Amino acid sequence: MNSVEVRREGTAELINVQIDGAPLAFSADGVATRDVVAGHEYVIQWFIRGTPGTTYKVQVTQPAEARFVASATLNDSQKDAGVFWFTIKGEHA
């Protein structure tokens, strides 16, 4: 089994992050991990809400083949969202 590490940070009032539709439980320092199976495609999605000018960052920090960063400053819409697909290398379990 492999683990994916996700970090979130920012000043937005809501930073919701999910992998395959299941919400991640973040620690006080903004880190969450999820066990994943090698060779399977996953989708990480995020939903952000806050006042204009607030910021956020969502990043997959581990493993290397899944790394990515999404960050933005919210505009007058006060919302943002996104998706990112990744596959962990290796043999199927």
The pLDDT, as a whole number, for residue 1 is 74
**Of 93 and 18, more confident:** 18
User: How far is residue 85's CA from residue 72's CA, in Å, rounded to a whole number?
Assistant: 19
DSSP code of 66?
G
Both tokens of 51, joined, read 């006042």
DSSP code of 52?
T
Q: Which whole number is the average pLDDT over 86-93?
A: 74
Q: What confidence tier does 89 reach under pLDDT thresholds 50, 70, 90? A: confident
Res 92 pLDDT > 60: no
Helix (H, G, I), strand (E, B) or coil at 44: strand
Helix (H, G, I), strand (E, B) or coil at 40: coil
User: How far is residue 92's CA from residue 1's CA, in Å, rounded to a whole number?
Assistant: 9
Q: Which whole number is the average pLDDT over 27-42?
A: 94
Q: Which whole number is the average pLDDT over 25-39?
A: 95
Both tokens of 79, joined, read 């919302």
Q: Which whole number is the average pLDDT over 70-86?
A: 96
